[in-house]
């Protein structure tokens, strides 16, 4: 907003430059305000529930009718609404408007998604693709007339017209290949774009030469169709990755970073980016710590499971340090910020992950491996046929023509489509099953996996506790605990309330119910004090399990809890074991809880109490033994392991750092698509290999013809189109 | 064969119109929401008069 205002001022030099000293300040302020009013704000909402024309209509009508809204447009593909509104309109109000007409809506951080709003690279590729398509159709029309018998002056005329269309079209369309090839040559290595560029340029040069000598064969159409098919592959590839990137960014944008700060005795809401060290920040129950800091006021409990994997909440009292990413559970806390933004321990750990990630880029994709074999082979073959024909016939023109024909025939047109066509189909299928493939080689790596390592808290378990021993108590005890549990929003209390309500228990008449933040709730039952809370507070002996204690008329009673399983966890583990994969569980949690869960799921190989470093070391050990490890995890303590593993998956509920570190994000809460993803990945890899074989097969037939000098432009065009179409159809079988 | 003098420029011109049209659609964000576009034709909101 400030940027826009400044921009506005700079564009109005006449108004304020006359007397900068005296009039500029108020005028500028005034103008900045007016600019802000004129510009308004662009807000974005995520609408996961919309799916039809009626949804679009309802949401747009509701938003456009909201006060201050200038224009609202729903994008069904992205399931988002873009709203242009006056500067004072808050996204939270708009969310309420949309929820008022019955649709789920979430605020999106406009800064985070702005990057994907306009996809410039995709547009450029599409434009080049269109021009290449247009030009190749026209040139093909002229070429067909030549092949079907146009001769002499007519043929020359057609060739010249083709040249006039082809040269500017190639200069525009083939730029991406030329640029990439130039970069590769500068770095002194070969990539797929080097033979492509060489083939296109050589075809153009010999065709021009032939045309000027009234020759019979010109390859203008081949150069253009080649460019068209290759651009189609590039565009598919780009679109798949752009879709994944925009969905990943939407996940990040859903966490709008805001904090309540005490400024001059008043609470104001500020973006986390604008906090400074020493600020007093209010963190409400259920809120996540935005900064590292020290508790100044309040008592509560902290859930550190995303950072350490522990499920047991940690008590938090004044004077204690907290780190960003921890979740405040019971009472409001006031925190003095000691480290903000990139300096928080959370961000520093995330940065370490980014450095560790370089290991992954060492993986060479199938396409790169093919290019490494292919590019030098093609060049040598073409050079040899040139030399052979030159020595044998002594005619430079014939030799050059044949070298060009060899390069065109072998040009990796089908190879360029072989990988993107398959990954597009496979990623699309995985996306429909709720998985977002972020990394370009993730599918190939996923196909090689033979060992799957799970994190416990938040990955196999949903992170919500479930009471285990309710059957052991009579109704009086249960109804008393329900009454006390209703006085708190602590996860254990809430879980108790849900479970007991589901059993049809009514709360006991407890008077003077109050919550003691960080400890529990207490009240009076028939004049006697009753309490529900931490073991230490009630004077009980704390065990290893997650538990809450009740002090009632009959003395102390313990409720034990276990983490409820995430949907599909059992099915996922069972299917993975059935598919012959090795499954392991590594958790930072206490031994009892981990052993219990491993037994429930049938996992034999489990480790408890693992530090973040231990997880990564364990995975390195496994990989040193030759295992290809898939790591599934969600917390900050998993990020190192996620980035060391051969391939990694994290649920959408994971911490941003963990999602960034993983190759694939599970969008739904369900784990059951994981075994299926392994299946799809190995089928996709098989298709890619098949495609390589198909492309090679066409080359094996056509190359001898080209070397022998028998390949006419017609045969070249047929071979090229046929192989590209077969490869695309083969990829479509995956859908 | 004199007809070619007319036919070739005409065919190029017609194709060119298509190309320019396509480039215009790309530049005016018409491919940003393909799913939405296919659903919006079913809406009767602007049937009586065009969107102002």
Residues of chain B neighbouring A131 (CB-CB closer than 8 A): 19
What is the per-residue pLDDT for A17?
Answer: 39
B8 touching A, CB under 8 A?
A: yes
Both tokens assigned to A55: 């949804």
Residue A151: φ, ψ to 5°: -135, 170
Which of the 8 DSSP states describes residue A707? H
Tell me whether residues A134 and B15 touch, CB distance under 8 A.
yes
CATH 3.40.50.300 fits A467-563, yes or no: no
Residues 371-400 of A with CB under 8 A from B: none
Hey, of B23, B47, B51, which one would you mutate to test binding to chain A, going by the most A CBs within 10 A of its CB? B23
User: What ipTM was assigned to the predicted interfaces of this complex?
Assistant: 0.85
| Closest A-chain CA to B26 | A123
Q: Do A130 and B15 touch (CB under 8 A)?
A: no
Listed by start position, the domains of chain A span 2-115, 258-343, 431-462+566-682, 467-563
pLDDT at A2 (0 to 100): 38
How many C-beta neighbours within 10 Å does residue A161 have? 18
Is A154 touching B (CB cutoff 8 A)?
Answer: yes
**CATH 3.40.50.1000, domain A431-462+566-682, yes or no:** yes
Closest CB to A134: pick one of B18, B31, B39.
B18
Please tell me the predicted confidence (pLDDT) of residue A452.
Answer: 92
Per this entry, what is the length of chain A? 735
**Among the CATH numbers 3.40.50.620, 3.30.200.20, 2.70.150.10, 3.90.1300.10, which is that of A258-343?**
2.70.150.10
CATH topology for A2-115 is: Alpha-Beta Plaits (3.30.70)
Task: Please check whether residue A184 is in contact with residue A197, taking contact to mean a CB–CB distance below 8 angstroms.
Answer: no
CB A40 within 8 A of CB A86: yes
**pTM to 2 decimals?**
0.72
Q: Residue A11: what pLDDT?
A: 38
Q: What is the pLDDT of residues A633-661, one digit of tens each?
A: 887 777 778 888 888 898 877 777 777 77
User: A220-251: string of b/e by CB count within 10 Å (b at 16+)?
Assistant: bbbbbbbbbbbbbbbbbbbbbbebbebbbbbb
Residues of B in contact with A123 (CB under 8 A): 26-27
Residues of A in contact with B33 (CB under 8 A): 75-78
Residues of A in Cβ contact (< 8 Å) with B23: 127, 130
Residues in chain A, pLDDT under 70: 1-40, 110-118, 251-257, 306-312, 346-364, 412, 542-544, 735
Residue A365 CB contacts under 8 Å (≥ 6 apart), including other chains = A419, A440, A441, A444
Which chain A residue's Cα is nearest to B7? A142
- Name the nearest CA neighbour of A303 among A333, A332, A331, A326: A326
- Residue B21: what pLDDT? 92
Determine the pLDDT at residue B17.
93
> B32: distance to nearest CA of chain A, Å?
8
On whether any CB of chain B is under 8 Å from the CB of A150, the answer is no
**Catalytic site includes residue A621:** no
Residue of A nearest to B16 (CA): A134
Which positions in chain B touch A71 (Cβ < 8 Å)?
none
């Amino acid at each position: 907003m400030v940027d826009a205002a400044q921009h506005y001022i700079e564009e109005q030099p006449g108004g304020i430059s006359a007397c900068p000293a005296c009039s500029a300040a108020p005028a500028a302020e005034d103008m900045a305000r007016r600019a802000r009013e004129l510009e308004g704000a662009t807000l974005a909402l995520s609408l996961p529930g919309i799916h039809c024309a009626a949804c679009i209509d309802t949401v747009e009508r509701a938003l456009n009718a909201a006060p201050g809204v200038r224009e609202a447009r729903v994008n069904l593909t992205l399931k988002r609404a873009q709203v242009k509104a006056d500067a004072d309109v808050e996204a939270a109000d708009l969310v309420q408007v949309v929820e008022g007409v019955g649709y789920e809506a979430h605020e999106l951080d406009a800064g985070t998604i702005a990057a994907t709003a306009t996809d410039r690279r995709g547009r450029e590729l599409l434009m080049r693709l269109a021009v290449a398509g247009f030009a190749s159709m026209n040139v093909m029309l002229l070429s067909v007339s030549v092949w079907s018998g146009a001769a002499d002056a007519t043929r020359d005329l057609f060739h010249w017209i083709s040249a006039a269309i082809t040269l500017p079209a190639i200069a525009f369309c083939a730029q991406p290949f030329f640029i990439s090839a130039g970069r590769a040559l500068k770095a002194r290595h070969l990539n797929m774009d080097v033979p492509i560029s060489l083939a296109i340029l050589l075809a153009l040069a010999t065709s021009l030469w032939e045309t000027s000598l009234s020759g019979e064969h010109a390859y203008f159409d081949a150069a253009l169709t080649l460019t068209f098919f290759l651009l189609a592959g590039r565009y598919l590839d780009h679109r798949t990755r752009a879709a994944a990137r925009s969905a990943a960014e939407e996940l990040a944008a859903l966490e709008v970073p805001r904090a309540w700060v005490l400024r001059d005795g008043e609470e104001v809401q500020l973006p986390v980016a604008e906090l400074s060290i020493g600020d007093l920040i209010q963190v409400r129950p259920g809120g996540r710590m935005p900064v590292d800091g020290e508790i100044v006021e309040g008592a509560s409990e902290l859930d550190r499971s995303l950072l350490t994997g522990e499920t047991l909440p940690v008590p938090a009292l004044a004077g204690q340090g907290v780190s960003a990413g921890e979740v405040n559970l019971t009472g409001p806390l006031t925190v003095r910020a000691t480290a903000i933004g990139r300096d928080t321990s959370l961000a520093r750990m995330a940065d370490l992950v980014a450095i560790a990630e370089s290991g992954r880029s060492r993986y060479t994709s199938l396409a790169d491996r093919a290019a490494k074999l292919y590019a030098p082979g093609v060049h040598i073959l073409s050079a040899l046929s040139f030399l052979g024909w030159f020595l044998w016939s002594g005619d430079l023109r014939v030799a050059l023509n044949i070298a060009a024909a060899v390069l065109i025939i072998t040009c990796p047109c089908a190879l360029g489509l072989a990988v993107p066509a398959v990954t597009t189909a496979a990623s699309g299928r995985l996306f429909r099953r709720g998985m977002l493939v972020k990394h370009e080689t993730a599918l190939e790596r996923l196909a090689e996996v033979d060992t799957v390592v799970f994190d416990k808290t938040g990955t196999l378990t949903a992170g919500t506790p479930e009471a285990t021993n309710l059957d052991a108590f009579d109704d009086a005890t249960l109804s008393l605990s329900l009454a006390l549990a209703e006085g708190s929003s602590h996860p254990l209390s809430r879980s108790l309330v849900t479970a007991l309500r589901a059993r049809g228990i009514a709360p006991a008449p407890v008077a003077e119910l109050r919550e003691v933040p960080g400890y529990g709730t207490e009240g009076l039952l028939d004049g006697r004090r009753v309490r529900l809370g931490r073991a230490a507070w009630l004077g009980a002996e704390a065990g290893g399990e997650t538990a809450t204690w009740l002090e009632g008329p009959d003395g102390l009673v313990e409720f034990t809890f276990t983490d409820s399983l995430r949907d599909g966890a059992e099915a996922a583990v069972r299917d993975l074991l059935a598919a012959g994969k090795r499954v392991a569980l590594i958790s930072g949690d206490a031994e009892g809880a981990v052993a219990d869960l491993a037994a429930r799921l049938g996992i034999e190989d489990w480790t408890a109490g693992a530090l973040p470093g231990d997880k990564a070391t364990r995975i390195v050990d496994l990989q040193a033994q030759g295992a290809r490890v898939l790591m599934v995890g969600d917390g900050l303590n998993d990020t190192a392991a996620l980035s060391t593993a051969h391939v990694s998956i994290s649920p959408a509920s994971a911490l941003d750092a963990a999602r960034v570190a993983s190759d694939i994000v599970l969008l739904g809460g369900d784990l059951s698509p994981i075994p299926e993803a392994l299946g799809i990945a190995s089928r996709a890899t098989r298709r890619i290999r098949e495609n390589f074989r198909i492309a090679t097969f066409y080359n094996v037939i056509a190359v001898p013809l080209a070397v022998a000098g028998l390949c006419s432009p017609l045969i070249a065009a047929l071979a090229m189109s046929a192989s590209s179409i077969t490869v695309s159809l083969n990829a479509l079988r995956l859908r | 064969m004199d007809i070619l003098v007319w036919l070739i420029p005409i065919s190029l011109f017609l194709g060119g119109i298509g190309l320019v049209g396509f480039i215009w659609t790309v530049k005016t964000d018409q491919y940003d929401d393909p799913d939405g576009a296919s659903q919006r034709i079913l809406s009767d909101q602007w049937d009586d008069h065009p969107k102002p």
